Chain A
Amino acid sequence: MTGWQWLALAGLGAFHGLNPGMGWLFAVAIGLQERSRSALLRACAPIAAGHAASVLIVAGLVGVFRSVLATRLVAIGGGAVLVAYGLWRALSKRHFRWAGMRLSAAQLASWSFLMSSIHGAGLMLLPVLVAGPAPAGHQHVAAAAGASLWAGAAATAVHTVAMVGVAGAVALVVYEVVGLSILRTAWVNLDRIWAYALLGAGLATVAVAVAS
């Protein structure tokens, strides 16, 4: 992967981290409920783990597919999935509806995993993941798949560190400085922006693959 790909993965991580629905808001709520900043910080770990797991599945699948199929095919197929998913997110009025306030670390990680997955967090990385040449070694599929998985894991790690860094920072700033009233004015409808981002990423992936 090139420098700009790592940068893009980190940038998307920051974008995901900003979304209150991806976890920082939950961390703030836990901190307030427990009246403890360290409870807030502790909550960031399972939130990051759940997000990483969700992203890793997509990154891993892309890697494995690329090692057995032409990159172009993976890009077009993946791009189509992304467009369909973006449309569904844009049109759907449903929202996440499981869980409660008192979650164990494992439950919080599962919540984060489900929340990231239904929002298509991993899918949004697709254009970055399919850019650039596939790992060499088509004659040894197993070895190539292994290398792809490692690349996927590295991509997930970079993305997640950026995500949880931003989410944790936002959570701390809201908890310590600006307070909850910020929610009333600054909480724009990210679900809508998010859906358009998915659509755009899908269209771009397909366009680039077709043009190349």
Chain B
Amino acid sequence: MNSTYIAALELAAGAVLVSAVMTLWRRSVRSIVSMLSLQGMALSVVAIVLALHEHEGALFVTGCLVFVVKGLVVPGLLRRVSRLDPRSRESRPLVNVPASLVFAAVLIVLSYVVSSRITGLSPSDATHLVPVGIATVLVGYFMLVTRRRAVSKIVGLILVDNGIALVTFLLTSGVPLIVELGSSLDVLLVVVVLQFLMVSMRHHSDTDRLTEMKGLRD
């Protein structure tokens, strides 16, 4: 029982990090969004596995909520946004794809080195996986900084949020339900606002590259 718990936890946490790296790897916005959906589902599996192991009803509810919001609703909304431009690709990121993958590898090693101090405070099966969450946060920031398209930037933001959620699940067995509810709705709101913003950006300037919005217009 204990070994299956550890195996399931490791596999789900690994899937969160792998899907974060995959969002840097893929170019088409559609597959980036489906990687994000995969990550949301893996995150919810982490929460549900922890909840089943520690018999915490609230965490189980949180896990189901994460599955619905981050696994289905947010990616669904992003898909609708990207459907405005069906051939949308992250064509020219500020750092090219091979370099950003190597940089992601550096970030992953960095997060492992940094967080060994934190995990040393209270070693357990769950806290060992904290580096995975921190690495997801760093990869999310990297994506936020280096990608040009609005959709990619919002994906980076959600990666950061997912990483933070993973760390809280692993370290504290989840924050109170109301806080998780608040942060999930926050992300949802950001995505909805982005959707309006993108529609109006496209209406005004026919692009969603944020770098091209330098001047003001009447």
- A and B together in one complex: no
